[in-house]
Amino acid sequence: MPTDTTTSFPTQIDSLAGHAIADLVAEFGTPTFCYDADKIVERVNDLAAFDVVRYAQKAASNLAILDLVRRHGVLVDAVSAGEIRRAMAAGYQPTGGEHPPIVYTADIFDREALELVVEHGIPINCGSPDMIDQYGEAMKAADKTPLGITLRINPGFGHGHSQKTNTGGEQSKHGIWHEQLADCVTRAAENDLIITGLHMHIGSGTDMEHLSQVCGAMEQAAHVVGPTLTSISAGGGLPTPYRDGDQRVDLAAYFDLWDATRNRLATAFGNHISLEIEPGRYLTAESGSLIAEIRAIKQMGSNLYYLLDAGFNDLARPILYGAYHPMSICPAAGDEGSEIKSERKLQDVIVGGPLCESGDIFTQEEGGFVCSRQLPEAAVGDYLIIGCAGAYSSVMGSNYNSKPLAAEVLLQDSKAHVIRQRQTFEEMIAGEIIPK
């Protein structure tokens, strides 16, 4: 596992994973998401000490990415009926093996999701007490033997780089409130369900201090459930570096905390406790880049704007959370541009998109406060690359302003593979009907 290191991002680049950006643009156009397969595999390997790496596919759910992590031994988490179907479409079997390939983790069952988990025998991770009763009743109605269930516990505290990414504490909707755990144990028994696992996740971007607090809360919760437990999940939330100088999490120290926790529980209960981790952003964020073209450069009073052909319909994290993404410039002029590039000065720039919304700004802080970024001088037609865009980016894409969903490309084995075609106008309106 890697130790703490700092990260540095360039402000100007010519290639992604060895592929010239101008060549990628010529083949796939803009805006386009590109993912470095080797980087995803590297992050998977970082977590090899854990018994189970269960990918939170909501971070980046393209079938090609799911297939990639599946082939490297990663299991999957699904938060909706659609994600269950995606996982199966990517080659995951609903059941089988020492650990369940797919687990449904959510705070509710919509009717389709409940039907799917019952039909396919998919284990569930309950985030609300009502789910325990609904699952028990549905399994009895289908005359099926219930599986062991997992409970997602809200320990009463949370953490995250934004209140919108904080998934613990009383202002979060996620998980079963820790004071209701004993009642949930009773509910499970009344429905002939056995609680075999516990899961905790307090938010994204959490630091070691908060992550270690989760271990203590998990241990307390485990003793309420008792020796039926066979697994605990550390959840997700591992920090991803987005800014120059950001520290990487000490994964070895983090694993040691959880390993000690599960060993104490194994000793207390007299049985083996499997240790899972549920990364999402950690596996894919650094692999992804959004390539866009600068279509206008304009001065607005004291502010200079680079306006792109990509907007928050492509990448919503800045407008949602005030999220920071590293940015780089690549000249469109090829080799000649590379020579000129070294002489380009840095300047303060506000980077925005094409949408008819004042909030369509990539350089903003939480609360919608616009800020500038130091980037090299550029010209219309140059490319701006938004880095660390491999998680919670393309999956949040929309058709706002009737913009098509961007193309997606996987950079693997020295080749660029299109893994989602750019959406056409006809595909965009295919489900719309004018009444006659």
Q: Which two structure tokens, joined as six digits, stand for 413?
A: 């084995």
Whole-number Å distance between alpha carbons of 49 and 51: 7
Q: CB neighbours of 325 closer than 8 A, spacing ≥ 6?
A: 242, 315, 317, 318, 362, 386, 387, 388, 389
Whole-number Å distance between alpha carbons of 250 and 254: 6
Whole-number Å distance between alpha carbons of 47 and 215: 17
Per-residue DSSP letter, 394: G
Q: Which two structure tokens, joined as six digits, stand for 230?
A: 């066979």
Whole-number Å distance between alpha carbons of 398 and 404: 8
Residue matched to tokens 């001088």: 377
Q: Which two structure tokens, joined as six digits, stand for 285?
A: 């964020």
Cβ-contact 292, 247 below 8 angstroms: no
Q: Which two structure tokens, joined as six digits, stand for 403?
A: 């913009």
- Which residue numbers are catalytic? 356
Cβ-contact 200, 235 below 8 angstroms: yes
Whole-number Å distance between alpha carbons of 247 and 331: 30
Torsion of CA 311, 164, 388, 369, to 10 degrees: 50
